[in-house]
Amino acid sequence: QINVLQAKKKFEILDAMLSFMHAQYTFFQQGYSLLHELDPYMKKLATELDQLVIDSAVEKREMEHKHALIQQRSESVSFFQDFSYDDSKVEFNVDAPNGVVMEGYLFKRASNAFKTWNRRWFSIQNSQLVYQKKLKDVLTVVVEDLRLCTVKPCEDIERRFCFEVVSPTKSCMLQADSEKLRQAWIQAVQASIASAYRESPDSYYIE
């Protein structure tokens, strides 16, 4: 009886395997039929994809061309501004009645480790270089006596239009908004130094 049961069990296993294989055949057959029906649609998508790739390449080339034109235009405008910048506060006067030789906004490089740049309102007055964070703030003295200082333009730096005021104890790196303003500030400092030494400011400026 045991042998009979084992023999029947073998037939049941074989029957189950055959049923499983038929199920697999039916599954893949239906999958093939479905994908075969989708074949025209997939070919259509492939054609549209090729066109999208071409359109994308054309658009990228056009954007790169526009970007190059914008960069060229910006450089041209920047060049024009550097040499044609007109500002009513560019002029300075060492004999100003209020004692302010020149004033305006400059960027100042901090002396901390981060070397950050901050925009401050600077002025030259009473033979001193001072600045304010806001117009109504207390004056902060950068240079106490301009007679002990020198001023020079700085080209070897990450920013344009920079100049440095150097004193025996420290130096201050500043940035103007244009080349014309930088030259005006340098001349104003030099004229103030000359005035502090009681030289003739007018003849110094003309020279």
Pick the CATH number of 100-199 from 3.40.50.720, 1.20.1540.10, 3.10.510.20, 2.30.29.30: 2.30.29.30
**Cβ contact 161:81 at 8 Å:** no
> Other C-beta atoms within 10 Å of 127: how many?
20
Q: Could you state, in order of their start, the residue ranges of all structural domains in the chain?
A: 1-88, 100-199
Average pLDDT over residues 99-107: 91
Cβ atoms within 10 Å of 171's Cβ, excluding its own: 16
The per-residue pLDDT for range 128-177, each reduced to its tens digit, is: 999 998 777 889 999 999 988 999 999 888 899 999 999 988 899 999 99
Q: What is the DSSP letter of 111?
A: S
What are the phi and psi torsion angles at 97 (to 5°)? Answer: -60, -35
The answer, yes or no, to whether residue 109 has pLDDT greater than 60, is yes
Taken in order 151, 155, 157, 161, is the CA torsion positive or negative?
A: positive
pTM, rounded to two decimals? 0.52
**Structural element, H or E, at residue 18:** helix 2-84
pLDDT of 201 strictly over 60: no
pLDDT tens-digit series, residues 41-69: 999 999 999 999 998 988 888 888 888 88
